[in-house]
Every structure is written in C-alpha cells, then in structure tokens.
Amino acid sequence: MFYLLPIAVPFVAAYAATRMLRGENLAKYDEGIPVTFDCDPHSEGLKKMNAYLYDNFEAPADGHKGGEPIASKRKRFDKAGLARDFPDTTFTPLSMPAKWGDIDGEWVTTKKTDPDKRILYIHGGAFTVGSCLSHRALTSRLAKMTGASVCAVNYRLMPEHKRMAGIEDCRTAYKWILENGPDGPFSVKKLCVAGDSAGGNLTLSTIQWARNKSLRPADAAITLSPGIDGTFSSPSIRKNVGTDHMLRPMLGNLLNVPKTLLLWGSFKQVGISPSSPVISPIFGDLSGLPPTLIQASSAEILYDDARRYTAKARKAGSDVKLQTWSHLPHVWQIFDDILPEADDALKEIAGFLKGHGF
C-alpha cells in the first residue's frame, strides 16, 4: 500500500491547497434580506439605461478578439466622465508630495465645501480601468450633497501593475488624507471612505487595514455594488448573469471555467490567495468597523457579495446597512442623468452621511 504514497501525496497536497484558496464556506451567511426599493422594470429610464449599456459595454467588444483593448476602454471611460458639465464644482489636481508615493487624482469641491470634512473616493473599473475623471458624476454629487471635500485618487491599475500596488496606494491615500485637505496640511475632523465596484472592494479592504493598524478610523464608509468575494462563490454570480448587462461581457465567460482552475488562475494572476482578506474583505475579521452603507441591485452579479458581507459583519457587531434596488444595473448611481433611481440612491447616501456628522 505504501507504494501508492508517491502518487497520492501530490493529489492530497493540491486538494488541501485548493481548500485554502477557497476559504470558509460563506453559504451560512445567505440570509433572506428583502429588497429595499422595488423598481419598475419597464420604466423609460431603464429602457434608456439598457440601450446605453449595450452600446457601451457589450457592443465595444465586437470586432476585438478577446474583448476591447484596455487602453481603448480607459479612454472611453474618461471621455464619458468629461462629456458632462458639473456646474458650481471645482476639480483641482491632487498634489501629493513624492514621499507619499506617485499617486495623483483630484480634489472635488464647491463653494460650500468644508475642508475639514473629507471623503476619500476610490473609483471602480475592475482594477484595470477608471480614474478620477471617469467618476466625476459621483464625486461631484457627493461634494454637493455633503459639503465635504472629495479626494478622488488614481491608484495603480492592472495589468501593468500588481494588484497589491493599487491596494498600497489606497492605504497611502488613507494615511495622507488624515492630515491633508484641499487647502493643505490639517487634521481631518470627519472622514468617509467610499467607492464603487472594485473601488468598493478597496474601500472595505482599506477600512479593515486601518483598524488593524490602529489608525484613526473613518466616521463612515460607503460602497456601491462592491466586489467582496474573490473566490466567486456567491450564488448571484451565476443566477444574475442574464440580468447584469454591465458585468456579463467581462465575467460571463468565467462561469465556464471549472472552479478549481478559476481559483488557481486568480492566484497566479494576482499573487494573493483569492480568500485573503486583502483582496476578499468578507474573509476577514469584520468586527470594529466604521458605520457602513452598502447599496446593491438584486439584478447584478455581485448582489450576494453584499448580502453575505452584511450578514457576517452584523454578526461580528459592526454597524452595516444594506440597501437594495430591484432591476437596476451595476453601479447605477453614476447614471443620475438617465435613471431617477440613481438620484434616489444618492439622496439615501447623503442622509446616511448626515446621520454620521457630515
């Protein structure tokens, strides 16, 4: 029987390693959290929205083997952000001293901005696209609604940089904004960390890190359609692939990859275990975190990431509020010029922050 050991040991080791990459079974957090806001799936706004999503997320991949090139997508995202006018809003290039790292971005302010109240905004874009320019629709509204100074940072993107580089940039920006505002060095009085999609992931990862480092905690955190589980174990990953018109072109093909290969492929690409709290905040200690508002759509692929995170964080004693909308696309809040529901969601965010001193 012992002659089988040389054959069995590699298989056992591979199985154990895969279990480590997969992390804990998160199905125990599948609590029945009802949809907060029920939307009309046949509204004119959603019809316009779905047409826009097809033109800008599904159609661009046509004619490109393997999808639209990243450089092209980055230009298109920034162009969309610059196409709109944001009256009574000032965008000032971020000036971060070299000792803090090579991080740029912009301060978003209004005439009524309070420099002592600050929002660190971390943009989405699947860790590969997006910038402070592409997300001005969100950062300008946050500045106007809250009276806070919004610091939108451009963290390093993949694939030319490692995933950890973007994470480190967000951590650096967190430490920097504690002592620096739009008018220069001055300790913050009220701080919120916010982000959408990939930026929501980085937001939740950053506030965990800040707690672990005993840094001054944020007074609140906001995440919009966050990606929280890098092991792709949420049921909505498959269940909602037909209704998520934004993420389906990018993630739909991954559903055909065997789970074991997907985990190992992610580990090889990123260099970090998919179940590490550094890139999958739901696998971390969720106690002692700032009051957090999560908004997600029941029609998007990442819906159950939000539900599971909320359930686990509440069990750990953290104050996490989940608001969900039906039928809406991923990060619908950025489309306030198309969807009335985007305006409603942004007002909910303003009310949440007002309740926490903003």
Q: Is residue 196 part of a domain?
A: yes
CA 312 – CA 79 distance, rounded (Å): 39
Q: Is residue 214 part of a domain?
A: yes
Q: Is residue 22 part of a domain?
A: no
**The predicted structure's pLDDT at residue 61:** 56
Percent of the chain residues past pLDDT 70, beyond the cut? 90
Taking the whole predicted model, whether its pTM rises above 0.75 is answered as: yes
* Residue 58 tokens, joined: 């599904």
Q: Is residue 129 part of a domain?
A: yes
Say whether 80 sits in a helix, a strand or coil.
helix
Number of domains in the chain: 1
User: pLDDT tens digit string along 318-331?
Assistant: 999 999 999 999 99
Q: Is 300 a catalytic residue?
A: yes
Whole-number Cα distances in Å, 205 to 131, 196, 213, 294, 305: 19, 13, 12, 14, 14
CB 104 within 8 A of CB 94: yes
List 123, 234, 266, 300, catalytic entry: 300
* Residue 152 tokens, joined: 């939108």
Q: Which of 82, 89, 170 is nearest to 133 (CA)?
A: 82
Residues forming beta bridges with residue 37, ordered by sequence position: 325
Please give the residue range of the domain that contains residue 198: 31-354
pLDDT band for 252, please (50, 70, 90 cuts).
low
Say whether 193 sits in a helix, a strand or coil.
strand
CATH number at residue 310: 3.40.50.1820
Q: Is residue 149 part of a domain?
A: yes
**The predicted structure's pLDDT at residue 278:** 96
Among 7-16, 102-111, 167-176, 279-288, which is the least confidently predicted range? 7-16
List 197, 225, 233, 234, catalytic entry: 197
pLDDT exceeds cutoff 80 at 65: no
Residue reference for tokens 């959290």:
33
Q: Is residue 54 part of a domain?
A: yes
User: pLDDT tens digit string along 150-194?
Assistant: 999 999 999 999 999 999 999 999 999 999 999 999 999 999 999
Q: Is residue 8 part of a domain?
A: no
Q: Is 197 a catalytic residue?
A: yes
CA angle 306, 32, 42 (to 5 degrees): 75
Q: Is residue 265 part of a domain?
A: yes
List 68, 327, 330, 341, catalytic entry: 330
Give how far the C-alpha of residue 137 lies from the chain's centroid of Cα atoms, to the nearest Å: 16
pLDDT band for 2, please (50, 70, 90 cuts).
very low
